[in-house]
Amino acid sequence: MDDLENLTKDQAEAELARLARLIAAANSAYHGADAPEISDADYDALKRRNAAIEARFPALKRADSPSERVGAPVSDGFAKVRHARPMLSLENAFDDADVADFDERVRSFLGHSGPLSYTAEPKIDGLSLALRYENGKLVQAATRGDGEVGENVTENARTIADIPQTLTGAPAVVEVRGEVYMAHADFAALNLRQAAAGEKTFANPRNAAAGSLRQLDAKITAARPLRFFAYTWGELSEPLGATQDASINRMKSLGFQVNPLTVLCHTPADLLTHYRTIEAQRATLGYDIDGVVYKVNDLALQARLGFRSTTPRWAVAHKFPAELAWTRLLAIDIQVGRTGALSPVARLQPVTVGGVVVSNATLHNEDYIAGRDSKGQPIRDGKDIRLGDWVQVYRAGDVIPKIADVDLAQRPTGATPYQMPHICPECASPAPRAEGDAVRRCTGGLICPAQGVERLKHFVSRGAFDIEGLGAKQIEMFFADAILPIKTPADIFTLASRDADNPLQKLKNREGFGETSTAKLFAAIEARRTIGLDRLIFALGIRHVGETSASLLARHYGTWANFVAHATDLADLTAIDGVGETLAESLIAAFTNPAERAAIDALVAHLTITPIAAASNDSPVAGKTVVFTGTLERMTRAEAKARAEALGAKVAGSVSAKTDILIAGPGAGSKAKEAAKLGILTIDEDAWLAMIGA
């Protein structure tokens, strides 16, 4: 910047014009193609230079000055926000019987036979957003993310007219949650503008809403016609009401848009009637909806019903039937997954289904292609799928398209039943189908490139090592790289030193890399040399070991050394509550396979593994084994069990020496006697509720 002192007015003017052009080009490369053309540091330098010149020559500031653009510097991404309460999803119902089941489950969980009211409202097809207000001021807006951690999009949310900046008469802390969406007319106009400006158009209003909200530059969001409906809440310092509908009305009076088609229903039949009413209006609403959400109205009952791991027991989304389209099946490709499973994928003549172009569909496995489900029952009336078939595809929500039907009248002459390959198409190892397994699996293990690359993708994924700048795309590149390859997890941790040892072709000189991004990548890898035991176990990608079981194993064994010492001990593993034989055998198979074991050891040599403390659940019944017997009067069995489990207790069906507490209601018989004999603490339902603080 030393030349700045000597700039003449003319030079300054020309320089500001040049900077405006460069910064605008960098912005549009970033936003349009998702591929920044210059590094963050260079971008920042341009912006600083622009600001410095403007400070010296305020009169020369341009109307389109880049310093007027608000928001974080591009490519910094959004800050992460941990939700005060998780943002959950909804269980789906697809037909009237599913709705009746929902009502039935709610009643039986609550042991409730009297009248029960539900709200019914459209399910808006947008993206959910949590708005946090403290002392009446909007302080944070966060996207759902993975439900636990979302993205901080506060500045963008402030540009949405439907979102109040301040609330009057609201509780000190209110988190209003709802859906950001784009109306059909606004979507069509936006796409016209985008096309006229030579910018990318959106496939549907939902994508347009998501793309518009998740802009790093809030000015772009401000120019997009986004709307918001409030329909639920997160953390509250005091309740908004005693019922769902009262709370919705309260949000409305606080200044939020709530959906006008929300009604209170008193029977499951009412729910279905309202569903049909909304379905009939669907095409004329002016915005996309994909179903009707039913929620138990009484919030005290909602609280008793509680949550499963990712969905509330008190709500269900009754989806509209999936959209369908006919097209040609061009080919069946086989993909080999992380655990070696061979998955057939249909390549289709591209066709629009519900506003989205579909060119692939999942075919699951050979039984599915042959027209049988996992129990051997016919699907698609038993019709198999052959190359060249005329097939009907459907999309339900966000799921990968599937094949609903085959038109046998259009089947090409000479088409033969599809044969799954018996060898892996990637490494030619045998791919047998084991007894009880729905899929064929490649037996190549680490020698199979497809398994290798998928395992690495899993290794760097979010719940695992989560290495910034090393995602699926980069893994594919490094996996195929001749100079700086990553073939196994251990290779990730030698990347920087191998690069340093190679004077000829440094990573930083490559296309797509630069000084800054290479340094960032190495730093991100370095930062993950220290890793929690739970993440490490999950990252290994062992079949049947998901995030939950990895964390269970980590909490049980505490340290890597202890885990490894027991990872081949079937009896020890299966003694852990929540670890079954399938999982244990899969772990043993991985740890006794010499090649796998060598790869694991090579990785671990690069790591510092942080031990995991045993579950720090402060509930008084955490870790206790409890048994319920006799009649419970204040809750149903299902409810009692769910609550005990939520507090970290194990609920067993019979009394044994392992039992810690027996909760005995009236009519308790043999179990109470057995407990007395074994000297087990026996209490009644009220004492139990007092114990758990209910």
DSSP state of 409: G
- Nearer CB in complex with ligand IVH: 151/384: 151
Which are the contacts of 518, defined by CB distance < 8 A and separation ≥ 6?
499, 506, 507, 508
Compute the distance between CA of residue 462 and CA of residue 148 in angstroms, rounded to an integer: 12
Q: Where does 274-396 show beta strands of DSSP type E?
A: 289-296, 315-319, 323-336, 342-353, 356-362, 390-395
Q: Which is nearer to ligand IVH, 144 or 304 (CB)?
A: 144
By CB under 6 A, residue 89 contacts ligand IVH: yes
The yes or no reply on residue 232 touching ligand IVH (CB under 6 A) is yes
Q: Is 534 a residue that touches ligand IVH (CB under 6 A)? A: no
Q: Least distance in Å: CB of 437 to ligand IVH?
A: 31
**Closer residue to ligand IVH in complex, CB, 128/156:** 128
For residues 66 and 291, which CB has a smaller minimum distance to ligand IVH in the complex? 291
**Residue 41: helix, strand or coil by DSSP?**
helix
Q: How far is the CB of 635 from ligand IVH (least distance, A)?
A: 22
The distance from CA 319 to its chain's CA centroid, rounded to whole angstroms, is: 20
Whole-number CA gyration radius for the chain: 29
Among 162-170, 273-281, 309-317, 464-472, the segment contacting ligand IVH (CB under 6 A): 309-317
Query: Minimum distance between the CB of residue 128 and ligand IVH, rounded to whole angstroms?
Result: 3
Binding mask 276-305 for ligand IVH (x = CB under 6 A): -----------------x------------
**Chain residue whose CB lies nearest ligand IVH:** 128
Degrees to nearest 5, angle at CA 529 with 528 and 534:
70
Q: How far is the CB of 373 from ligand IVH (least distance, A)?
A: 25
Contact range with ligand IVH by CB under 6 A, out of 191-199, 213-221, 311-319, 398-406: 311-319
* Least spacing, CB of residue 294 vs ligand IVH, in Å: 10
CA 149 to chain centre: 10
Residue 317 binds to ligand IVH (criterion: CB under 6 A) = yes
Residue 121 lies near ligand IVH (rule: CB under 6 A): yes
Write down the least CB distance from residue 129 to ligand IVH, Å.
Answer: 8
Q: Where are the beta strands (DSSP E) in 169-322?
A: 173-181, 227-236, 263-265, 289-296, 315-319
| DSSP type of residue 97 | H
179 binds ligand IVH (CB under 6 A): yes
Q: What DSSP string runs through 104-154? A: HHHHHHHT--S---EEEEEEESSEEEEEEEETTEEEEEEE-TTSSEEEB-H
Exactly one of 30, 109, 118, 231 binds ligand IVH (CB under 6 A); which one?
231
Is 175 one of the binding residues for ligand IVH (CB under 6 A)?
Answer: no
Q: Give me 489's structure tokens.
A: 């997890």
Token match 């790289």: residue?
481
Stretch that binds ligand IVH, among 73-81, 83-91, 538-546, 686-694 (CB under 6 A): 83-91
Which residue, among 602, 487, 613, has the nearest Cα to 554 in the 3D structure? 613
Query: Residue 163 Cβ, how far from ligand IVH at the closest point, in Å?
Result: 16
Asked if 520 is an active-site residue, the reply is no
Residue 133 engages ligand IVH in binding (rule: CB under 6 A) = no
Task: From 41-49, 84-92, 642-650, 675-683, give the range in contact with ligand IVH by CB under 6 A.
Answer: 84-92
Does the protein bind ligand IVH through residue 691 (CB under 6 A)? no
Q: Could you say whether residue 151 binds ligand IVH (CB under 6 A)?
A: no
**Partners of 610 in the beta sheet?**
532
In whole angstroms, what is the distance from residue 80 CA to residue 66 CA?
26
Q: CB–CB of 558/616 below 8 Å?
A: no
144 vs 250 by CB, closer to ligand IVH = 144
Distance CA 588, CA 579 (A): 13
* Window 478 to 507, contacts with ligand IVH (CB under 6 A): none
Q: Rule CB under 6 A: is residue 88 a binding residue for ligand IVH?
A: yes
Q: Could you tell me the smallest distance in angstroms from the CB atom of residue 322 to ligand IVH?
A: 15
Among 47, 49, 83, 123, binds ligand IVH (CB under 6 A): 123
What token pair was written down for 641?
A: 């069990």
Q: Distance between CA 477 and CA 466 in Å, rounded?
A: 17
Q: Give yes or no for residue 124 binding ligand IVH (CB under 6 A).
A: yes
Residues 6+ apart with CB under 8 A from 336: 342, 343, 424, 425, 426, 442, 448, 450, 451, 454
Q: Which of 365, 312, 316, 373 is nearest to 337 (CA)?
A: 365
How many residues bind ligand IVH (CB under 6 A)? The answer is: 15
* Dihedral pair phi/psi, residue 501, rounded to 5°: -80, -5
Q: Does 639 bind ligand IVH (CB under 6 A)?
A: no
Q: Cβ of residue 313: shortest distance to ligand IVH, in angstroms?
A: 10
Name residues whose C-beta falls within 8 Å of residue 553's C-beta, 6 or more positions apart in sequence.
534, 537, 545, 563, 576, 579
- Residue with Cβ nearer ligand IVH (257 or 568): 257
Q: How far is the CB of 220 from ligand IVH (least distance, A)?
A: 23
**Closer to ligand IVH by Cβ: residue 309 or 413:** 309
- Which DSSP string do the residues of 625-647 spell out, in sequence order? EEEEES--SSS-HHHHHHHHHHT
Piece of the chain touching ligand IVH by CB under 6 A; list 102-110, 121-129, 489-497, 653-661: 121-129
Single out the catalytic residue among 47, 123, 295, 671: 123
* Interface positions with ligand IVH (CB under 6 A): 88-90, 121, 123-124, 128, 144, 179, 231-232, 293, 312, 315, 317
Active site residues: 123
